[in-house]
Amino acid sequence: MKNLLSSLLDLFYPHTCDGCGTDLTRTEQVLCLRCLCRLPLTGYQHQQHNPVEKIFWGRVNIRHAMAAYYYRKSSLLQQLIYEFKYRQREDIATHLGQQMGNILLQSRWLYEINSVMPVPIHPTKLQQRGYNQAMLLANGIGNITGKPVTEKILFRSNYSPSQTNKGRLLRWQNVSGVFSIQPAAQLKDQHILLVDDVLTTGATLEACSNLLINAGATVSICTLAFAHH
């Protein structure tokens, strides 16, 4: 009976790959296996002093840092990010967060992490979009790794324009002073995995990390994508 109902649902609501449009199997979600394999993995979970870690050298004391995939213009990954940021495809963000979780399981340092924390967005943008995409990614990571997801500690207290098409200095100025932290937060001896979608200059992650570190936490970083140059 269950299989019959599932077949009827597939008939009226086709479950197709967001990459190539082919029908997904029962074990596939969002992307077929072939399209999932098309996403350009960085392999940074295996590399100490990888290019993502080096971005933060001399800027903020990060313990570990990595990105799951390379971000390339006009790529499948860019299309997927656009879908979950601007077209309410929450399922895509959650699924990609789960892939990030699977990748993190391959690292040697995941056991150090106490909790996963998304980069916050301003309440105005949250109301407009209906969700924080970094939170969906963090939830996907938590689902796979078993690490608890923590929110309501970091806040975006000032609204700032989009970071898109801004250089490093302008991005840093754009986020300077816009984040705040819960004064009563107990972060001493806590190792937090800070999560965001796309890493470019690292200005947003630097600002958030400094607040957490000043409150006593150790910070590592994991992003979905790395827009390397």
Q: Report the distance separating Cα 61 and Cα 186, nearest Å.
A: 19
Cα-based distances in Å from 123 to 6, 91, 129, 198: 38, 21, 10, 20
Residue whose entry in the numeric block shows the structure tokens 């190539």:
20
Answer whether residue 126 is part of any domain: yes
Q: How many domains does the chain fold into?
A: 1
Range of the domain at 202: 41-160+177-226
Answer whether residue 1 is part of any domain: no
Q: Report the distance separating Cα 48 and Cα 44, nearest Å.
A: 8
CATH number for the domain that contains residue 115: 3.40.50
Residue 46 CB-half CA count within 13 A: 5
Answer whether residue 117 is part of any domain: yes
Q: Using a pLDDT cut of 70, give the percent of the chain over it.
A: 86
**156 within 8 A of 208, measured Cβ to Cβ:** no
Answer whether residue 20 is part of any domain: no
pLDDT, position 14: 54
The answer to whether the predicted template modeling score (pTM) of the entire model surpasses 0.75 is yes
**145 within 8 A of 110, measured Cβ to Cβ:** yes
pLDDT, position 15: 86
Mean pLDDT of the 106-127 span = 95
Q: Distance between alpha carbon 101 and the CA centroid of its chain, in Å?
A: 10
Answer whether residue 151 is part of any domain: yes
Answer whether residue 22 is part of any domain: no
| pLDDT tens string 72-103 | 999 999 999 999 999 999 999 999 999 999 99
Answer whether residue 57 is part of any domain: yes
Answer whether residue 34 is part of any domain: no
| pLDDT tens string 50-65 | 999 999 999 999 999 9
